[in-house]
A = this chain, B = another copy of it.
Amino acid sequence: MLGRRARLLAIWVLAAVSTTALGQAAEIASSSETPPASLAYDLVRDLTTLFGPRPAGSAAEAAAARWGSDKMKALGFQGVTIEPFPLLRWTPGETRVELIGDPAQRLVATPLGGLVAGPPVEAPVALFRSYDAFLKSSPAEVRGRIVAVVEPVRRAINGDGYVEAAPARARGPAEAMARGAVGFVVRSLGTHQDNVANSGASMTLPRPFPAFALSPAATDQIERAAGLGPVRMRLESSAGWAGAGTSQNVVGTIPGSDPDAAPIIIGAHLDSWEQGTGAIDDGFGIAAVTAAATRILRSGKTPRHTIHLVWFGAEEVSQPGALRDFVGARAFTARHASDVKRALVVAESDWGGGRVTRVTLPPGTSDETVERVRGALGSLGLPVAVGGPGPGVAEIGVLAAAGAPLLRLHQDATGLFDVHHTPNDVLSRVDPASLEQNVTAWERVISAIADVR
């Protein structure tokens, strides 16, 4: 496998050199191998092919970070560093969720991230059509039962249907435990009708409590069964903590011409859930920002502001204590406190595989900078505004909380929650044309901002 990676890296380096020297047409003819036609697509293809799922703290995530570090060096980034940090690893283990009856019916389910399932439980189901209805229920309605919240997720171009629904997954288990329930199941936070369940993090709890996302088909099944009479479920899983581990951020730099100018920090996250290969979430983001930064590197012009490119580790994992989520971003912020505090902007690509639809610059951005960005975007026809964060702020929200101004390249998230955190988050779901549009938008926005005085 090392031989394969070394070979691939050689092809990459050749491609990077030939592109700089001869342009893309020459590059395609420069090797008997088919060289990369698109740096971004090749990044996400090779990341998913070589490493597959990359759970936080896993050997796959660590190997992908080493590969990323080699890649950044080969592409010409400076000061490339792998920055390790500790975390508790979590494993989904093996799961068996069933309707109990005559006969039993097994359901497609996945454990909520960060929860320890504990011993199997079997109990009657207390079904709620909405998370709000559950929150308004009395403890008597749920005590000794398995709470089932079957509320569907609204499809929305900016993905805010997911944001609205997320508390049911994040806080539902805690609320159910507090009311004396013995388990919790929630309809997958997905807009699809596939019989797959969406993974996703939940608040950690002080003691074992089985909590799962069910596929839409499984949720429909429970609703129909509950319409006919009382329903019982059995929840069994070995989900839980898998011991101490290490994750890491990978950082590379394009040095600016003015060392005193505030730095720009752009990134995406390298880790993924275990079911797919994290092609959309967040291989797409890794590929988009890395390819855009590489175009800036290759442009032959030195930006005024230094640009830091960050592949964050450990986004897709809860840690004990709610404050310690986004542990990669926290580690980066702690290590690079002065850069974060004085940053010109921070930005990340982590909202799926859709096209960039608009750009928002941090509050207080000068009219001149707004016009500069608008001009740079040119034929892409994207609206540019000054405004707040909007949905989908993850790692970069941690940096923003530490004082960094937030730049957003908003994406069309209409189809994101059809694959987000499911087995279908694989390379075939990456649209190369959409990825190229993202790369171009990032290149132009960051180039424009990087020359601001």
- A residues with a Cβ closer than 8 A to B are 1-4, 7-8, 45, 48-53, 58-60, 63, 99, 101-103, 105-106, 108, 193-196, 215-217, 220-221, 224-225, 228-229, 275-277, 422-424, 426-429
Check A103 against B58 for contact (C-beta < 8 Å).
Answer: yes
Check A102 against B63 for contact (C-beta < 8 Å).
Answer: yes
Contact partners of A229 in chain B: CB under 8 A = 1, 3-4, 7
Check A427 against B220 for contact (C-beta < 8 Å).
Answer: yes
Contact partners of A63 in chain B: CB under 8 A = 102-103
Which chain B residue shows the least CB distance to A99?
B52
**Complex Cα gap A1–B231 (Å):** 9
Number of copies: 2
Contact partners of A45 in chain B: CB under 8 A = 224
**Complex Cα gap A276–B105 (Å):** 10
Which chain B residue shows the least CB distance to A232?
B1
Check B428 against A102 for contact (C-beta < 8 Å).
Answer: no
**Complex Cα gap A106–B53 (Å):** 8
Contact partners of A50 in chain B: CB under 8 A = 228
Check A105 against B7 for contact (C-beta < 8 Å).
Answer: no
Contact partners of A8 in chain B: CB under 8 A = 228
Choice from B58, B108, B427 contacting A423 with Cβ under 8 Å: B108
Contact partners of A215 in chain B: CB under 8 A = 423
Check A196 against B193 for contact (C-beta < 8 Å).
Answer: no
Shortest CB distance A397–B (Å): 29
Check B60 against A4 for contact (C-beta < 8 Å).
Answer: no
Contact partners of A48 in chain B: CB under 8 A = 221
Which chain B residue shows the least CB distance to A229?
B4
Contact partners of A423 in chain B: CB under 8 A = 108, 194-196, 215, 217
**Complex Cα gap A149–B428 (Å):** 19
Choice from B2, B277, B424 contacting A194 with Cβ under 8 Å: B424
Check A49 against B428 for contact (C-beta < 8 Å).
Answer: no
Check B2 against A102 for contact (C-beta < 8 Å).
Answer: yes
Would you give 11 A-B contacts (Cβ < 8 Å), ordered by A?
A: A1-B101, A51-B105, A52-B221, A58-B103, A59-B102, A59-B103, A108-B423, A194-B196, A217-B423, A217-B424, A220-B428
Known contacts A51-B105, A52-B105, A228-B8; A195/B276 CB under 8 A: yes
Check B103 against A49 for contact (C-beta < 8 Å).
Answer: no
**Complex Cα gap A7–B228 (Å):** 8
Contact partners of A59 in chain B: CB under 8 A = 102-103
Choice from B49, B58, B102 contacting A228 with Cβ under 8 Å: B49
**Complex Cα gap A53–B104 (Å):** 10
